[in-house]
Structure 1
């Protein structure tokens, strides 16, 4: 099964300030604010929803197609992804802008001052999916993740026009989009991914009830945090899958991307949606146990043992044959 993952590709520049921002703020002078802070630590992490999902799928032995827009400064990032098995041949390189960046400074009170530079991501609207499909020999599914809004809309409409099944995953963009825009992203999706808050936001902004949303998509997959995952299909019983136990909690950033990676891996293996959600939930624990969205490593034996502990030997027996490409 050939799956293309569209969405953001970015780097996070995370800095730590050993003092308190509040000590430098003069309320009466905020209209004239001009400050700089001497930071002690800088942590540069690879990120972006599309890159994170592709990294997770590749870790499970697949070779996903990454589709997004970056700057010429992404050479090292590309090398990292390709070394880990991601197909980067359909990534567009901007001639004008740098790769998207999230720049954030956190003080001792956990207060944050941050900026997001969209950069080359704003050129995702220039990407056409037909050449991607031709290069790959066809597309069985296109995941449309958070990205340049016009790019997301173009990908969605192209999927409808060319008959590519697509998964709608607007996530962070839901907060900024209006109802008509969200309806255009969701209508006709084979899969709709969201967390519980995003699910309610979708209904609120579109004016559709939960049943009306479900009537417009094939399957709705809603992550519920510590309560697991809910899978709803028209005319079918609701499926609920519990979370896999993590060994420790280090950082939740990227957990949703890892879940999607595992779920899509299950789809590519032609597994039942319940099993797909179990693979996704298992992979998500690897992210929450590490700092950084692409810093975890998967070993076949360890993954299967943990999967067996979480979901039983019968479930593990279905997954095991598909992990032959994962290191022992």
Structure 2
């Protein structure tokens, strides 16, 4: 097979993050559960924005963050996500393309506003996300660049985008393209609320051989397997996919591929500032290793390095030189 145009092509929600500090008392006053993610409508987005503290506006979205991390690690990356033909949409496209990521979906008019996520960060660095999906939930199968998908070594999909009907169909079309071209499909469960709604769908995809690499964190693993104990969850899910990757917070991460298993510790950090994007950047590091045919332990190490960088500052995009941090792993 010829060298692909993209090492990884990411498909996900194109969302502008608005990040603000908040107290536990503020979360309680708004009826919010710390560390959760909820979907809100445009009216609630405007109301909450009006009462939250000063925010920092940064381009985000789970798969978009992963694309940014992959580009920072020297990979050839494409991104497919829907933005509106508005100011936030222009900002998002510019931000992504400035990182060296090829944005493959044109903006659309008449579909409302570009998505935004209002992220409240408490002093313990936990983030509570309030997401208005807007235009992002209108990614349509008709705009999927089939040749680009077929020419990507790995297709990476975020579970968040599975919730609305239109992008679910778009993702299914992309999976079909990737499989027809003999490419690998990576999928992240994204959040327990997504698993609660669509866990059976994801397990069916795995059973049909449509997922080659599955990412989950400990909470998502428990939700999709019904096993509260971490190792029991891994034992139950690992046989369903060729490669299972599970992050476990400050306890590190595990990867299982058939009889092969690897585990790494979390990277040491100076200070924990904001956990937004930790899983996204971990996936970026791991996939960068996969694109280079590195071993499981090396891939996990790259993921841990990228995740450690992003949790030491606000925002879900890397600020330090990830290639320098990776050192000999990318030599």
- Listed one character per residue, the Cα deviations across residues 237-261 of structure 1 (whole Å, up to 9, x for unaligned) are 3211112111222111111111001
Q: Cα–Cα, structure 1 residues 78 and 220, in superposed 2: closer, same or farther, change >3 Å? A: same
Residues matched between the structures, number: 293
Instruction: Look up the SS of the partner of 2:18 in the other structure.
Output: strand
Shift of 1:202: 1.0
Q: Higher relative CO (CA 8 A, sep ≥ 6), structure 1 or 2?
A: 2
Instruction: Look up the SS of the partner of 1:286 in the other structure.
Output: helix
Query: Normalised by the size of structure 1, how large is the TM-score?
Result: 0.77
Gaps of 5+ in 2: 31-46
Does 1:265 pair with 2:285? no
Does 1:84 pair with 2:99? yes
Shift of 1:290: 1.0
> Which of 135, 154, 157 does residue 144 from structure 1 map onto?
157
Does 1:226 pair with 2:250? yes
Q: How does 1:55-134 map to 2 (within 5 A)?
A: 55-73=68-86, 74-88=89-103, 90-95=104-109, 96-103=111-118, 115-127=130-142, 129=144, 131-132=145-146, 134=147
Shift of 1:300: 4.5
Does 1:277 pair with 2:300? yes
Q: Distance in 2 between matches of 1:179 and 1:246?
A: 33
Task: Say whether the 8 Å CA contact 2:153–2:291 is kept in structure 1.
Answer: no
Does 1:9 pair with 2:14? yes
Q: Distance in 2 between matches of 1:91 and 1:204?
A: 37
The answer for the alignment partner of 1:240 in structure 2 is 263
Q: Distance in 2 between matches of 1:83 and 1:224?
A: 32
Shift of 1:77: 2.0
Q: Distance in 2 between matches of 1:79 and 1:181?
A: 34
Does 1:174 pair with 2:174? no
Q: Distance in 2 between matches of 1:181 and 1:195?
A: 18
Task: Say whether the 8 Å CA contact 1:52–1:293 is kept in structure 2.
Answer: yes
The answer for the alignment partner of 1:32 in structure 2 is none
The answer for the alignment partner of 1:183 in structure 2 is 203
Task: Say whether the 8 Å CA contact 1:17–1:38 is kept in structure 2.
Answer: no
Task: Say whether the 8 Å CA contact 1:124–1:148 is kept in structure 2.
Answer: no
Task: Say whether the 8 Å CA contact 2:156–2:185 is kept in structure 1.
Answer: yes
Query: Normalised by the size of structure 2, how large is the TM-score?
Result: 0.76
The answer for the alignment partner of 2:36 in structure 1 is none
Q: Distance in 1 between matches of 2:324 and 2:277?
A: 24
- Listed one character per residue, the Cα deviations across residues 288-325 of structure 1 (whole Å, up to 9, x for unaligned) are 11111125120644542xxxxxxxxxxx3xx242xxxx
Query: 6-15 vs 194-203, which deviates more?
Result: 6-15
Gaps of 5+ in 1: 26-34, 305-315, 322-328
Does 1:255 pair with 2:275? no
Shift of 1:211: 4.4
> Which of 53, 60, 65 does residue 66 from structure 2 map onto?
53
- Listed one character per residue, the Cα deviations across residues 5-39 of structure 1 (whole Å, up to 9, x for unaligned) are 111121122456799659989xxxxxxxxx88655
Q: Cα–Cα, structure 1 residues 303 and 106, in superposed 2: closer, same or farther, change >3 Å? A: closer
Query: 236-245 vs 189-198, which deviates more?
Result: 236-245
